[in-house]
Amino acid sequence: MVSITCTVNHHRDIRNSCSRILLCTALLFFSIYVYGKIRNGHEVRFRHAQDSLPILKQRLATAVGLTSLEKRDLKARIANLSEIMIYHELTRDVLDRLKAISPRLYNEMDELKDRMGRPTDVYVRLISMREIRVPFVAASILSRSVRDRDAAWSEHGLHSVAVDLWVSERALLRLSHEFGHLSYIVPNLASYSEYYRKHYRSVTARNRIGHLSEDKSGQLAKIFEKRYMADYRSYVAQSGRLPSILSAMAEIRRYYRHWQAPIPVPPAWYDADEITTTR
């Protein structure tokens, strides 16, 4: 009788423990995925550049017998990878500035969700004029998923949007403007897509896109600008002005002009992740 009682209690304890584990797992999953994030849109290319650049530099410095065409190609690839790293760091700097100046606005967009409550990542990139995809100094780029009318899609995948900005001293103001657009569009994507198709497909004045008087995304864009400017004035009054964005870019460019990363060394065969077979 006692052993039966103990067995029952033991099973009950196991069930309770399993329930607690499942609950903790669910809460962890919820905490990870309930919110989207503001992300650096150069991140993937930055990691590739970080790995590839020192290898290419070493190849250029030590290779013997390269033709002038091969050297020119190597130099162009090195210059391109260096630009990726520079713009990645500048984007990181601008996002850090926004978080410091206007933390409430930043956190609001860091927790952006669609109409179904799913997280939506916001990928931000500062870019040069030659990389521009649309003829604007700032633009939000997204489309509606074919399979899910409430889900945003961009080059970064499902449940994501992209924001491109030209490098300028007004980049933060323009970023806050685009965040205002997205704060309305993402939670109302299905209905806004229909509105956009109806009112903007035939618009010839491109600067009007997103800014008709009745466009709620445009209204929020202006509100976000005002919020940012109020936060900026408060920040400057308390902490002083930050260095200019253009001067920050020049400093980053100087740093990467002489940057030397260690050449990645492949792990020993017995430490590698790949499966290795011998005979």
The H or E element containing residue 144 is strand 143-144
- In this prediction, residue 58 carries a pLDDT of 86
Burial 18-40 (b: 16+ CB within 10 A, else e): eeeeeeeeeeeeeeeeebbebbb
Q: Which DSSP state fits 145?
A: -
**Other beta carbons less than 10 A from residue 123's beta carbon:** 24
Cite the beta strand spans of 190-278 per DSSP E: none
CA–CA separation, 60 vs 104, rounded Å?
47
CA–CA separation, 172 vs 27, rounded Å?
35
- In this prediction, residue 55 carries a pLDDT of 87
Q: Which DSSP state fits 163?
A: E
Residue ranges per domain, the chain?
38-257
- In this prediction, residue 276 carries a pLDDT of 42
- In this prediction, residue 32 carries a pLDDT of 38
Q: How far is CA 63 from CA 55, 57, 74, in A?
A: 11, 10, 11
- In this prediction, residue 108 carries a pLDDT of 95
- In this prediction, residue 61 carries a pLDDT of 85
CA–CA separation, 162 vs 147, rounded Å?
20
Burial class (CB in 10 A: 0-12, 13-18, 19+), 61: exposed
pTM: predicted TM-score of the whole model, two decimal places:
0.77
Q: Which DSSP state fits 138?
A: E
**Tokens, residue 52:** 């590839």
Burial 128-143 (b: 16+ CB within 10 A, else e): eeeeeeeebebbbbbe
Coil, helix or strand for 180?
helix
Grouped pLDDT means (10 residues each) for the chain, 279 residues: 30 42 39 64 91 88 85 91 93 96 96 95 91 79 91 94 94 96 96 89 72 90 97 96 94 82 50 46
**Tokens, residue 249:** 């870019």
List the one residue out of 97, 86, 87 whose CA is nearest residue 176. Answer: 97
| Cβ proximity of 153 and 142 under 8 Å | yes
Q: Which amino acid is at 51?
A: D
List the one residue out of 100, 179, 99, 101 whose CA is nearest residue 142. Answer: 179
Query: What are the residues facing 127 on neighbouring strands?
Result: 166
- In this prediction, residue 126 carries a pLDDT of 95
